[in-house]
Amino acid sequence: MKTVSPFLEIDPQSDHVLVRFEGQDLSLPLGENLAGALLVAGVMPFRHTPVSGAPRGPFCMMGACFDCLVQIDGMTVQACMLQVTKGLEITMPAARGAADA
């Protein structure tokens, strides 16, 4: 029995804008969920854990796990809680030991 998915598909025909992740230009759908759009674009991981350096990416997609953390304009934010907007400059949060330098 087929059920209706609670997830909405990203419309490939929607307007796309240029954003940058770790210096790589990406064309993402304007207004879509940032974490979802980055995943569709093939971005993984989003960050590394500060203690072990293990790679992390979106897990819950609802703001609970913090595995989707990225840095935008110097602020560490949850990508799953944001929408794609034009010109985002996204980086991974500071790596382990970077704050010690």
Does position 84 interact with ligand FES (CB under 6 A)? The reply is no
Does position 61 interact with ligand FES (CB under 6 A)? The reply is yes
Closest alpha carbon to 87 in 27, 16, 19: 19
Quick one: 15 or 44, whose CB is closer to ligand FES? 44
Quick one: 32 or 67, whose CB is closer to ligand FES? 67
Does position 55 interact with ligand FES (CB under 6 A)? The reply is no
Report which residue type is found at 83.
Answer: Q
Exactly one of 18, 20, 59, 83 binds ligand FES (CB under 6 A); which one? 59
Output the 3-class SS for 29-85. ECCCEHHHHHHHCCCCCCEECCCCCCEECCCCCCCCCCCCEEEECCEEEEHHHCECC
Interface ranges with ligand FES (CB under 6 A): 35, 58-61, 63-68, 78, 80
